[in-house]
Amino acid sequence: MGIAEVNSTAIKALAGEIGFDKVGIIGPEHTNGPPWTRSVLVLAMATLDPAFDHEMYIEYDGRRRWHKFVYTILEAQGARLAHALREEGLRAESLTFEDSFGCIDLRVAAVQAGLGVRGLNEVVVTPKYGPRVRFTALFTDAELARDHPLQDYYCVNCTRCWGACPTGAIGPRGFDRSRCIAEFAPTPEMAERQREMLTFPTPATRLQCRACLDSCPVGERQGVFYFDVIP
């Protein structure tokens, strides 16, 4: 997996080979990664199919929680990219979701990296996939060319996501986290609302609410039908 020359183009191509759909690069400002960080790769994966938002209730290492498998994929791909960069003699550390809250605000970073713009649904809306993406990040000591925020704005004459939200969590007054049923760590009151409003294919699996994502007209909305691509 060696890359002959370490630069932003080569690293983005490598990230694409590993499975990321979009990559942007920012400086370490506004992030709280390792002190040797010179560049931060913000890595996006399209999640067009609602199955990406299935969660499973697991007990691991003494903790019980809902777990979303797309985050496992992002962590694994990020670790693979970090390993490849270390093979090139760079320092590189990918994000784990346990430490993401203290290290980086992924939505802010994605906007800074030019991957999308903040929409009225409060998530990052990308030109190609709309808001149907998930992000992770990788810190490296490589000095790489920076990307810049997009100058676009997609929410002109559109408030579709406001109308799609079943709880009124998004609207003219912004985002009310206490009403959003897509919370990982719900309060008892919210857990009750989730039980009433979310789909539970089995007692231990949950399909999260993504009505605000699926209603957005920006970008692609359908994933490939996987039987068409199985060799």
Residues of the shown chain interacting with ligand SF4 in the complex, contacts defined by CB under 6 A: 119-121, 125, 154-155, 158-161, 164-165, 167, 169-170, 180-182, 209-212, 215-216, 218
Residue 5 falls in which region: left (phi positive, over 0), alpha (psi -120 to 50) or beta? beta
Query: Helix crossing, 69-87 with 8-18: angle to 10°?
Result: 140
Closer by beta carbon to ligand SF4, 3 or else 71: 71
Q: 39 or 215: whose CB is closer to ligand SF4?
A: 215
Instruction: Give residue number: closest CB to ligand SF4.
Output: 119
CB of 1 to ligand SF4, least distance (A): 37
| Min dist. Cβ of residue 25 to ligand SF4 (A) | 25
Q: Residue 224 CB, nearest distance to ligand SF4 (Å)?
A: 22
Q: Which is nearer to ligand SF4, 87 or 152 (CB)?
A: 152
Which residue lies nearer to ligand SF4 by CB, 80 or 221? Answer: 221
Residue 37 makes CB contacts below 8 A (sequence gap 6+) with 28, 31, 139, 140, 141
Q: How far is the CB of 103 from ligand SF4 (least distance, A)?
A: 24
For 94, the token pair is 């990918």
Q: Which is nearer to ligand SF4, 129 or 139 (CB)?
A: 129
Closest CB 70 distance from ligand SF4, rounded Å: 15
- For residue 124, the minimal CB distance to ligand SF4 (Å) is 10
- Do 198 and 207 touch, CB atoms closer than 8 A? yes
Nearer to ligand SF4, 90 or 158 (CB): 158
